[in-house]
Amino acid sequence: MSMTNMPKPATIDDASLIGRTLARAFDDDPMMGWFFPGGADGTGTAAADGPDGPGAAAREERLGRYFRTIFTRQYAHHGVCEYTQAAAAFWVPPGAQDKAVPDAATIEELSQILGDRAPLFRQAAEAAAGEGPPEPHWYLAVIGADPAAQGQGHGAALLRSGLAKADETGLPVYLESSKPANLPFYEHFGFTVLGEVRLPGGGPALWPMRRAPGGGPPAGV
């Protein structure tokens, strides 16, 4: 493992880097595309100036604000957050999941970022929360790597780090994948698809996944 993809604990001081990294990581994610369709004013109007124009830049800025907000107001306080130079991951250990739920001030801030998509976001969050297992578990809330560093092992390094912590406790890990192309990646690390959940309001699908305790990554990954 190189120094650039070595996981490090994330603190509030890392919020700007983490926000930029995750905004790029989730730029082509179907769920984030549903909540942040590309309009420069947050109204859901599609950007008409191409992938590098001002509308795309505004969308990336809003995505960055979203990830900075949930990091600084939720996961940095109640989760296990790690990052590399090109990736970040937010985990919620057992016993902290009720605390990691957004409070009223966080919901208000997210609503301002999401604009007219805020009601859809709340409905989707409720739908996803209803799929979580009742058993004690670790929850992988967010993981993403900058596409510019694809293939350099940043996401895998963060995933291995979190899974090792879960294995030490002998508990399963749960996540929801919002990108079908990522399912084989998680399956390679021992996750199994539990089903498919369609987001309310005509939104994209989520795939809940579970990894059994000790089902570590294959050798050589």
- The string of pLDDT tens digits covering residues 156-196 is 999 999 999 999 999 999 999 999 999 999 999 999 999 99
Output the pLDDT for position 217. Answer: 47
Asked if residue 172 lies in contact with residue 208, where contact means CB atoms within 8 angstroms, the answer is: no
Domain span at 148:
3-211
- pLDDT mean across residues, the chain: 87
Q: Which residues contact 194 (CB under 8 A, 6 or more apart)?
A: 131, 207, 208, 209, 210
Does any domain span residue 173?
A: yes
Does any domain span residue 218?
A: no
Domain count, the chain: 1
Output the pLDDT for position 26. Answer: 96
Residue 44 has phi, psi (to 5 degrees) of 95, 5
Residue with the larger pLDDT of the pair 39 and 1: 1
Output the pLDDT for position 157. Answer: 96
Output the pLDDT for position 48. Answer: 44
Does any domain span residue 131?
A: yes
Residue 55 has phi, psi (to 5 degrees) of -65, -40
Percent over 90 (pLDDT), the chain: 67
CATH at residue 111: 3.40.630.30
Does any domain span residue 219?
A: no
pLDDT of 52 over the 50 cut: no
Does any domain span residue 220?
A: no
Does any domain span residue 217?
A: no
The predicted model gives 130-148 an average pLDDT of: 91
Asked if residue 215 lies in contact with residue 171, where contact means CB atoms within 8 angstroms, the answer is: no
C-alpha triplet 132, 185, 66: angle, nearest 5°: 60
Does any domain span residue 96?
A: yes
Q: In whole angstroms, give the CA distance from residue 180 to residue 136.
A: 26
Output the pLDDT for position 40. Answer: 36
pLDDT of 112 over the 90 cut: yes
Query: Predicted confidence band at 150 (pLDDT cuts at 50, 70, 90)?
Result: confident
pLDDT of 43 over the 50 cut: no
Output the pLDDT for position 160. Answer: 96
pTM reported for the whole predicted model: 0.87
**Residue 163 CA: distances (Å) to CA of 137, 144, 181:** 11, 15, 21
Residue with the larger pLDDT of the pair 50 and 157: 157
Instruction: Output the CA torsion sign for 62, 64, 69, 74.
Output: positive
- The string of pLDDT tens digits covering residues 67-90 is 999 999 999 999 999 999 999 999
3-state SS, the chain, equals CCHHHCCEECCHHHHHHHHHHHHHHCCCCHHHHHHCCCCCCCCCCCCCCCCCCHHHHHHHHHHHHHHHHHHHHHHHHHCEEEECCCEEEEEECCCCCCCCCCCHHHHHHHHHHHHHHHHHHHHHHHHHHCCCCCCCCEEEEEEEECHHHCCCCHHHHHHHHHHHHHHHHCCCEEEEECCHHHHHHHHHCCEEECCCEECHHHCCEEEEEEECCCCCCCCCC
